[in-house]
Structure 1
Amino acid sequence: MTLNTIGLDTKKTKDLAKDLNDLLANFQVYYQNLRGIHWNIKGKRFFDLHVKFEELYTDANLKVDEIAERILTLGETPLHTFEDYTKTAKVKVGKNISQDEKAVELIVHSLSELLSIERMILDKSDKTGDEGTNSMMSDFITEQEKTVWMMKAWLGETV
């Protein structure tokens, strides 16, 4: 087994970095979806949702940077082209969404996809002994589960 400078198995961190790149691609699509619904939202809930969507895309942008920096910390290169993102991402692209419920449903579906990827990475990073990635995924999951709950409550649904 070969260890990298931060003391982790290089083969396992290469695999984790690939998964983090998948997460990065999905986060980039999620981020762009949030920008789109922020710009295009219409209706009586415009003022509340416009502000909320800006809060969410600002947070997503920070997470994109954290993910990319973690990939670099593991010794790999983060994806950085739209071509890579669209080939890799599973998060559905939301195009021309201006209706409030459709926008919130897009967020819920996107976060559900991100949570699935993050849980898989959390499991792998735990088995690898990669506390940095593990901690990041745990924090993301906790925050996003709460957002899903709030969005579902707004829709009048339960988790």
Structure 2
Amino acid sequence: MITVENKERKMSREKTKAVLNQSVADLSKASALVHQVHWYLRGPGFMKLHPKMDELMADLNNHLDALSERLITIGGSPVSTLKEFDELSKIEMDVATWDKTIEERFNEVVKAYKYLSELFEEGIEATDAEGDAVTNDMFTSAKGSIEKTVWMLESELGVAPGL
């Protein structure tokens, strides 16, 4: 049964909209980071890792598109400029240089993905509090996908699984 309180909570969804917009910025910047790694990879494993970066970018962009469209669906306005992505995102990214190892680059990506996992957990909590089961499901699915990627990247680095 939908009460007046639940209806008002669903109508505003301010926390949900905020975490969706944060996700838009962070997924955009995470994709740029993976693209940077894609371009600046050098060393053993290049031939298999270079195309893997394309897969990671595609996955990030799929999450980005789905969450952006959900934000629009519930009456929000996603950030959409490079400036907004950079200002809002909490993912750190430096100008690329050729002196980093594949391991160092992958560690940067793992750090970004672990942050995304935490952000999506915030999304799960916000959507739960605001009664938005659809967006909750989207964050839950995205979190699972991101965590699987963390496991795979850390396995490539020789790190035991465990978030």
Tell me if the contact between 1:22 and 1:88 (Cα under 8 Å) persists in the aligned partners: yes
CA deviations 1:135-154 (Å, max 9, x no partner) are 11111111111111111111
Bigger shift: residues 101-110 or 89-98: 89-98
2:17 corresponding residue in structure 1: 17
Structure 1 residues 72 and 2: CA distance shift in structure 2, 3 A:
farther
Structure 1 residues 97 and 147: CA distance shift in structure 2, 3 A:
farther
Matched, 1:91 2:91: yes
Tell me if the contact between 1:41 and 1:97 (Cα under 8 Å) persists in the aligned partners: no
Which amino acid letter does the alignment assign opposite residue 105 of structure 1? N
Q: Offset at 1:15?
A: 2.5
Structure 1 residues 54 and 149: CA distance shift in structure 2, 3 A:
same
Mapped partners of 1:127, 1:2: distance in 2: 12
TM-score (norm 2): 0.88
Over aligned residue pairs, what C-alpha RMSD do you find?
1.9
Tell me if the contact between 2:31 and 2:57 (Cα under 8 Å) persists in the aligned partners: yes
Q: Offset at 1:3?
A: 8.0
Structure 1 residues 97 and 74: CA distance shift in structure 2, 3 A:
farther
Which amino acid letter does the alignment assign opposite residue 43 of structure 2? G
TM-score (norm 1): 0.90
2:146 corresponding residue in structure 1: 144
* Runs (4+) off by over 6 Å: none
Which amino acid letter does the alignment assign opposite residue 80 of structure 1? S
Q: Offset at 1:36?
A: 1.1
2:66 corresponding residue in structure 1: 66
Q: Offset at 1:40?
A: 1.6
1:123 corresponding residue in structure 2: 125
Mapped partners of 1:144, 1:63: distance in 2: 10
* Identity rate, percent: 25
- Unaligned runs of 5+ residues in structure 2 are none
Larger relative contact order (C-alpha < 8 A, sep ≥ 6)? 2
Q: Offset at 1:107?
A: 1.3
